[in-house]
Chain A
């Protein structure tokens, strides 16, 4: 038996292909939305993995450096280093801000780390070019997404930083590229006040009789010095010695240092379940709406195609074609349309995903699930057309 669906498609292949192409673009958008969600989760995981930490020590009662503001004294890490099971501990600051580069603004997460080599907590895990931070000031290791090249100058607040290294896939949970700078510079950037404000502050302090007491030389200078230096960091990243359980060490730090501690899995939960939960729901809604729109489009196209063949269907029925042959013809066309749409959509999503500002992760599993959903939608969408075709009276072929 010849394939009626195949012949019909071949007969009007340009129209069919163009329809499939249009549907494919819609499916491509749907796959991209799923890819954006996967990218967000992956970004969160990469952020955690690349931090090189087993524990995040943050201000008590906060959700840590990525989800909520947290500040603790910069010398906290010393007492943490003395705890059993702790191999390394390093201060770190995080600040999402606009930095200037190449005459424009770049939204970036500025990470303050203690200069050192790879493997240190908070340091980028690997570089694609250049070197790690070695100087105490005015050097930056930037993610390539920031658009920097080695030797470029990046302006953060009032200071100019030279790009000495480049890294890749180091982005915040919001998708902003990370810029790693020395901790002292980052603290200054985070808490630095402008010159006018500093002058005003000094004047106000000098006018306060509590701070400017007669007969107590040096007090005013000490107070002013304390006001203009920052002694806070956002978190201490901790690496453990082999054989120590993160939960047990975290519990000890929490108990004795009176700080909040999160393990890797807890931090992953905060990032994925809390930070990107709203975005995930938003994307989920888009996916549902796009699936419904796709189904409606397939149903409408297949219904229109079937209605255009009503006379032929009446003739086919009159000459003895069974319902299942006619239903199969329509079903095959719907599935064919869905398959073309999926292939076009997959190719389109793959081609345009690098141009998205956020990382789009197209997982093979999602593609397989997407294909199954498209097929199910195609089958469901063909029901309307099949019902209409089976209602066609063969007497219509005779007329009269």
Chain B
């Protein structure tokens, strides 16, 4: 389990060279502790997606340092050879759209990750089922993704992100397609899961409804982050208020 969350120091990312050089990230500092949910907000083109891709080991930063728990994963270059295994075992992804695999049923969409990690099918499915039940979609385990509502699909995507118990979850606008009540319900689930599994969660969002739920928020502008305290309201309470 991750000792002290994810730590980023002076992370930079440059695209192009010469006249076409673009500094997408100019020195990002960030720290997210286990069981903590932080928000990452900023205008379009501020570098949110680039930061998410760097954190997700999808693109290589140009400079800086990234640490997952005690493990240094980037320090001027990748320190881990197998980035796919790093992603599979340490990073969960939740996207704006759920992007479930359309030809797998709900249970196997979630169980696929542990199977890819070498887990036996039975064990992987048992673990996936436990998570689906915890997220209140266990009864749809045999359904195909196209048969689910948007909220159910997003919960399955969260289950998929959590199934390998990764130390970090990166969520890219996970509530964008949902109405406010469902959006808050998803954030409540992410908060609960963060606590239950000691997972550090970074949520990129524009969604005004969910921003009050964060205790800490990183604003990103012109490739730099600024930290500020959030309101830290309970999403469960907000859901009740919405319902009322």
One of A1, A2, A397 near B95 (C-beta < 8 A): A397
Give the docked Cα–Cα distance between A10 and B111 (Å): 18
One of A8, A320, A395 near B103 (C-beta < 8 A): A8
Q: Are A2 and B87 in contact (CB under 8 A)?
A: no
Number of chain B interface residues as a range:
20 to 34
Q: Are A312 and B53 in contact (CB under 8 A)?
A: no
Contacts A11-B103, A399-B96 given: A321-B58 contact, CB under 8 Å? no
Give the docked Cα–Cα distance between A311 and B97 (Å): 11
Specify the chain B residue showing the minimal Cβ separation from A320. Answer: B88
Contacts A2-B121, A10-B103, A398-B95 given: A320-B85 contact, CB under 8 Å? yes
Is A270 interfacial (CB-CB < 8 Å)? no
Nearest CB of B to A262, in Å: 65
Is A315 interfacial (CB-CB < 8 Å)? yes
Q: Are A316 and B87 in contact (CB under 8 A)?
A: no
Nearest CB of B to A219, in Å: 97
Give the docked Cα–Cα distance between A10 and B108 (Å): 14
**Neighbouring B residues of A312 by C-beta, 8 Å:** 99, 101-102
Selecting from B112-120, B190-198, B213-221, the interface stretch reads B112-120
Give the docked Cα–Cα distance between A131 and B232 (Å): 105
Nearest CB of A to B166, in Å: 10
Give the docked Cα–Cα distance between A393 and B58 (Å): 8
Q: Residues on A close to B: CB < 8 A? A: 1-2, 4, 7-8, 10-12, 311-312, 315-322, 325, 393-395, 397-400
30 pairs across A/B with beta carbons < 8 Å?
A1-B116, A2-B111, A2-B112, A2-B121, A4-B101, A4-B103, A7-B104, A311-B99, A317-B84, A318-B56, A318-B87, A318-B93, A319-B87, A319-B93, A319-B112, A319-B113, A320-B89, A320-B113, A321-B84, A321-B88, A321-B116, A394-B58, A398-B52, A398-B93, A398-B95, A399-B96, A399-B172, A400-B50, A400-B52, A400-B53
Q: Residues on B close to A: CB < 8 A? A: 48-50, 52-53, 56, 58-59, 84-89, 93, 95-96, 99, 101-104, 108, 111-113, 115-117, 121, 144, 160, 172
